[in-house]
Amino acid sequence: MAAGRQWVNEISEKGLEIDCIYAIKKKDPPRKGKKAGYFFSIVVSDATGEIKVNFWGKGEEASVRSTYEALREGSMVRVRGRSDLFGDSVVVQVNQGNGDILEEAKEGTYDLAEFIVTSKKDPEVMFQELLDLLSQIRDENIRRMLELMFSDPALVTAFKRSPASVSYHCAWVGGLLEHTLKVARACDFISQLYDELDRDLLLASAVLHDIGKVRCYNVSTAITESVDGRLRGHIVIGAQMVEDTCSRCPDFPETLRTKLVHMVLASHGAYEKGSPTLPSIPEALALTFADEMDAKLERFIRARDNGGREDLFVVDHMLGTKVFLG
């Protein structure tokens, strides 16, 4: 990593002078503060993480809106301000009245490699491990369907490169493949503990449960949702991809097709978590637990490893708990 850069994960305390370039990940519209004038918030990121930036104008709504409208999600922004504490989180305050700056950065003043996190694991090695697991599937219909699905070079490339999320877990290039491989390994182990389960169905569904995410994200200076991903969601997209691929396999058993689609649709395990249906076969329940276990464990471990040296706990709002750092 470049020396002298102010990395996001180093902005860990109040009172630090910030002057650096970051990628804009999210924008929240201008609003009136409870004790101050108008402001807006953006979330910025680099390869080490993300942080909220609050821009305060000179008490004038017009100047705040003008700055807000000049910034675009996915673009690069120069942030000059000071770190501060807001609840349990560190934020950056940019106060226009103090001469602070929030402006779009010019091309050539930054290196894109500093802004996108990439999996530490080799995608080719991970993909081969996944293929080795799938080679153990005995059901000829499932094998045909998977071979057809992954015969598309563009899909394979996207599968190796896609993140698993924007920010919740495995939010980096190659994150989808990394998450999928762990879920498949977990499901393989579960099938050995419960030999009553259909191992072929479980393994195939572990690989397919998040396949819709290959169409859900845009990766440039930051990871953002695609229009298709926002409007339909990866579960619906993935279920349709599985349905379409089964339809292209001659004489594919209807019950097996329904089970494979069900596994994708029920993979989040609950309506409030985004699944349009609940697990109705034991393999779907096993997949739900394997999927949630990997997502939450990865986030727990990342929260623990990224905690401050002097902290005893770090709050993770998405996990809804304090993570012990001792």
Q: Indicate whether 249 and 266 sit together in one domain.
A: yes
Q: Indicate whether 214 and 180 sit together in one domain.
A: yes
Structural domain tally of the chain? 2
pLDDT tens track for 198-250: 999 999 999 999 999 999 999 887 788 999 999 999 999 999 999 999 999 99
Please say which residue of 94, 114, 134 terminates a domain: 114
pTM of the model: 0.78
**Residue 313 belongs to some domain of the structure:** no
**Residue 207 belongs to some domain of the structure:** yes
Confidence band for 1, pLDDT divided at 50, 70 and 90: very low
pLDDT exceeds 80 at position 53: yes
Q: Indicate whether 134 and 155 sit together in one domain.
A: yes
Across the range 305-322, mean pLDDT stands at 84
**Residue 315 belongs to some domain of the structure:** no
CA dist 315 and 321 (Å) reads 6
Q: Indicate whether 131 and 233 sit together in one domain.
A: yes
pLDDT exceeds 80 at position 257: yes
**CATH number of 38's domain:** 2.40.50.140
Across the range 17-33, mean pLDDT stands at 93
**Residue 34 belongs to some domain of the structure:** yes
pLDDT of residue 116: 84
Confidence band for 302, pLDDT divided at 50, 70 and 90: confident
Q: Indicate whether 83 and 149 sit together in one domain.
A: no
Q: Is the pLDDT higher at 251 or at 113?
A: 251
**Residue 326 belongs to some domain of the structure:** no
Q: Is the pLDDT higher at 59 or at 41?
A: 41
CA dist 137 and 66 (Å) reads 58
**Residue 15 belongs to some domain of the structure:** yes
Across the range 287-314, mean pLDDT stands at 89
Across the range 12-39, mean pLDDT stands at 91
pLDDT tens track for 193-207: 999 999 999 999 999
pLDDT of residue 87: 78
pLDDT of residue 305: 86
**Residue 50 belongs to some domain of the structure:** yes
pLDDT exceeding 90 applies to what percent of the chain? 76
pLDDT of residue 107: 84
* Mean model confidence pLDDT for the chain: 93
pLDDT exceeds 60 at position 2: no
Q: Indicate whether 108 and 144 sit together in one domain.
A: no
pLDDT tens track for 172-192: 999 999 999 999 999 999 999
pLDDT of residue 154: 97
pLDDT exceeds 60 at position 12: yes
**Residue 294 belongs to some domain of the structure:** yes
Across the range 125-129, mean pLDDT stands at 98
pLDDT exceeding 70 applies to what percent of the chain? 98
Confidence band for 295, pLDDT divided at 50, 70 and 90: very high
Domain that holds residue 25: 8-114
Q: Indicate whether 90 and 32 sit together in one domain.
A: yes
Q: Indicate whether 70 and 157 sit together in one domain.
A: no
pLDDT exceeds 70 at position 50: yes
pLDDT exceeds 90 at position 321: yes
Please say which residue of 114, 145, 165 terminates a domain: 114
pLDDT of residue 3: 55
pLDDT exceeds 90 at position 82: yes
Q: Indicate whether 107 and 139 sit together in one domain.
A: no
